[in-house]
Structure 1
Amino acid sequence: MKLNIAILGTRGIPNYYGGFEHISEYVSAGLVKKGHAVTVYNSHNHPYQEDSWNGVNIVHCHDPEYKIGTAGQFVYDFNCLRDARKRNFDVILMMGYTSSSVWGSFFPKQSTIITNMDGLEWARSKYSKPVQQFLKYAEKLAVKYSDFYISDSIAIRSYLADRYNIESCYIPYGAEPYSDIEREQVDPDTFKKEDYFLLMARMEPENNIETILEGFNASNSKKSFKVLGDTSNRFGKYITNRFQNDSRIDFKGGIWDNAKVRALQNHSYLYFHGHSVGGTNPSLLEAMASEALIAAHNNPFNKAVLNADAFYFSNANEVRELVETVQRKEPEINMVKNNLHKIEDVFNWQNIIDQYEAFIFDCYCSHHEKQVALNRG
């Protein structure tokens, strides 16, 4: 059976923003290859302006966020839903709930609604207390108005079961192993192998960027520290100002050239992953796939992915100790190899796409049978 599927809740594809856009790229194109009709909703001011991408239908909806700020996200999601109601989709896959679940009563009744429940948005420290309270409410609405649920982390799945007594399907993100072709694309003079530390993240407090750089700043390391991420926001400006006197710290800005990012990860001496809120993070999987040695913030989300194959830190002193003591010998080489095996066996994109298709199909059939039974009754 071939389904008509829509993906809502992202800024659009191809990815110029973050995690949900990243997975929507792969899943939408993968489902098209399997014969399904797939539509992804894009912001009208997305850099990609064509009506299709790799066989995926693109619908551009007005997004006033650039004019009115955060409130524009709610308007954009409403505009996407208003269009989706006209198209009779079999399944609507909602990526997150932050600005969409308030429109839950407006979700198309004829469609099976599956929501990827995101990673505890209300716990993000960048939000004020009132915003955190609203996000808890939005999470509750997403549970109420969705028919089925996806968790991209085992920790999120456990949280949803405990908090709402609902069953969600665990499907993580994926990544592709670092290929020989990608290695050959890099100018050998561009990066010195294992000459620098690296982190890649959005400039947000919960990503522990300040903790990581504070630890490095206090260290006696002669290596440089490259920071990838757009620093134009308030926190980014604060961070660059705070560490401007440490000439070893190099703020590279946002880099969207995937080959360059992967080369930077592959060549790093130690890759710091500071994300503390959320599910399975795409940049962590990319680092694993790029054969980086990883030091991660000590939390259940990261440990569920990395297990014993990483170093962990909780504060700046522990970062400093890692910077000054981590070696690149046989145990560390084995950690890198073990993480690559996880990518090949568990977190590979074809496996993820297959899981999405199977779950979407099961949800549609279950929901359809339920609707038929209700109509008979």
Structure 2
Amino acid sequence: MEEKIQHVYIIGAKGIGNYGGYETFLEKLLEYHQNNQQIKYHIACKKNGKGFMDESKLPKAVTLDEDHFTYYNADCFKINVPEKLGSAQAIYYDLASLKECIRQCKENHIKNPIIYVLACRIGPFIGPYVKQVHQLGGKLLVNPDGHEWMRAKWSKPVRKYWKISEAGMVKHADLLVCDSVNIEKYIQTEYAKYHPNTTFIAYGSDIYPSKFKDDDEIFTSWLSQKGLTPFNYYLVVGRFVPENNFETMIREFMKSHSQKDLAIITTQDDKFLAELDEKLHFKQDHRIKFVGTVYNQELLKKIRENAYGYFHGHSVGGTNPSLLEALGSTKLNLLLNVGFNEEVGQDAALYWSKEAGSLAHLIDQADQMSPAQIDEFGQKAKQRIKDAYSWQFIADRYQAIFK
């Protein structure tokens, strides 16, 4: 019967399956709920500009017209964003998406919708819209993401805005879905006066091996092109931004006695790269290799599987997707010792601090580990993903809160 279907509108991601945490989350949620008769998804996507949605690159997506496509059981609609708005584009995009969701609910007589907003970008404006959602019998759910206001890439006024915006979203949300225990604690403590209603649902990952064989030509030619050999490189994967601690990782690797390479898969930022080289002169160290980006997920998984070890320096945010992928694929993981990372890795990883010498010493120790010791870490890491971060487990948790 029609009234049994729960309509869920999700806004805040640029698209489905693009290179980003929310985008991957949407791809997996819709895949795992593709046969779910009780939930009907409606997904807002960015029509233009940086990171726009191109469904022709998304297997199983069906284009209906230039503004609409379907993906499994989801109805997806595109929002046009004026690019002249600069860094305010994200705020415009979320507000325009929210207005469109409410319009669709009214036009199609959808009762009791759930509107799930990913990230806290529209806090100062959310009040009147929440009233409209409540008038429809609906609920506003919010994923507070990580500490956006702490990210080094933002100027002081922008950081101040993010903090105010976070407070507004927490105040008005019917439920906050936190993807990290640490973020949930922070929301409960920082905004105690609002008595926030929170729940914890992690981000997901999988432990299936890559479809590529060891001798697959795409993989072997990538290695030879980059001057790497299997199990003879440490790996870093992440956005090239200061809060991911590239400077510390490169400096410490240069101090270590390792004979292995350091392969860095990251986005391009020539200015930041030049600044780092001026400080560290890493271009003189033949072991350090910036190898560009890898968007082929199977290839990326194969590269992770063949790394001797993985460095994770993320210091801001909740459960980080690239950390989960590393634990699912790389046996030996060396993580920065912040709460978010320790919560995920537990005893399945090794930890370093930003103190001088900490990571360099750990690299030298890791280089001396026996294959049996490394295998044991690999087994623990995979078990950690299986126990707490499998996509099936996470899709089931979302089913429970949406219903």
% identity of equivalent residues: 28
**Residues 350/240 of structure 1: CA separation in 2 closer, same or farther (3 Å cut):** farther
8 Å Cα contact 2:95/2:122 also seen in 1: yes
Q: 2:394 is matched with which residue? A: 352
Of 7, 10, 14, 1:11 maps to 14
**Residues 221/180 of structure 1: CA separation in 2 closer, same or farther (3 Å cut):** closer
Structure 1 residue 25 displacement after superposition: 1.5
8 Å Cα contact 1:291/1:337 also seen in 2: no
8 Å Cα contact 1:203/1:233 also seen in 2: no
Q: In the TM superposition, what are the counterparts of 1:187-202 in structure 2 within 5 Å?
A: 187=217, 189-190=220-221, 191=223, 192-202=229-239
CA distance in 2, matches of 1:355, 1:236: 41
**Residues 179/59 of structure 1: CA separation in 2 closer, same or farther (3 Å cut):** same
CA distance in 1, matches of 2:266, 2:82: 24
Deviations, residues 117-165 of structure 1 (Å, cap 9, x unaligned): 1112122233333222221111100112211111111111111111123
CA distance in 1, matches of 2:249, 2:259: 16
Q: 2:59 is matched with which residue? A: none
1:331 equivalent to 2:358? Answer: no
8 Å Cα contact 1:226/1:251 also seen in 2: yes
Q: 1:374 is matched with which residue? A: none
- Count of matched residue positions in the alignment of Structure 1 and Structure 2: 358
Secondary structure (helix, strand or coil) at the match of 1:14 reads coil
Structure 1 residue 229 displacement after superposition: 1.0
Q: 2:189 is matched with which residue? A: 162
- State the superposition RMSD in angstroms: 2.0
Q: In the TM superposition, what are the counterparts of 1:27-46 in structure 2 within 5 Å?
A: 27-35=29-37, 36-45=39-48, 46=52
**Residues 227/146 of structure 1: CA separation in 2 closer, same or farther (3 Å cut):** same
Of 238, 243, 253, 2:282 maps to 243
CA distance in 2, matches of 1:180, 1:83: 39
Structure 1 residue 171 displacement after superposition: 0.5
Q: 1:48 is matched with which residue? A: 54
1:321 equivalent to 2:361? Answer: yes
Secondary structure (helix, strand or coil) at the match of 1:253 reads coil
CA distance in 1, matches of 2:202, 2:161: 26
8 Å Cα contact 2:244/2:315 also seen in 1: yes
**Residues 180/24 of structure 1: CA separation in 2 closer, same or farther (3 Å cut):** closer
1:179 equivalent to 2:209? Answer: yes
Q: 1:152 is matched with which residue? A: 179
Counterpart of 1:267 in structure 2: which amino acid?
A: N
**Residues 293/29 of structure 1: CA separation in 2 closer, same or farther (3 Å cut):** same
Deviations, residues 198-222 of structure 1 (Å, cap 9, x unaligned): 0001111111111001111222322
**Residues 128/336 of structure 1: CA separation in 2 closer, same or farther (3 Å cut):** same
8 Å Cα contact 2:209/2:301 also seen in 1: no
8 Å Cα contact 1:29/1:56 also seen in 2: no
**Residues 148/234 of structure 1: CA separation in 2 closer, same or farther (3 Å cut):** farther
Secondary structure (helix, strand or coil) at the match of 1:225 reads strand
1:224 equivalent to 2:224? Answer: no
CA distance in 2, matches of 1:290, 1:135: 34
**Residues 145/128 of structure 1: CA separation in 2 closer, same or farther (3 Å cut):** same
Counterpart of 2:115 in structure 1: which amino acid?
A: I
Structure 1 residue 183 displacement after superposition: 4.4
Deviations, residues 248-302 of structure 1 (Å, cap 9, x unaligned): 2111222111111111111111100111111111111111111331000010000
Structure 1 residue 170 displacement after superposition: 0.6
1:104 equivalent to 2:129? Answer: no
Of 36, 58, 64, 2:76 maps to 58
Secondary structure (helix, strand or coil) at the match of 2:234 reads strand
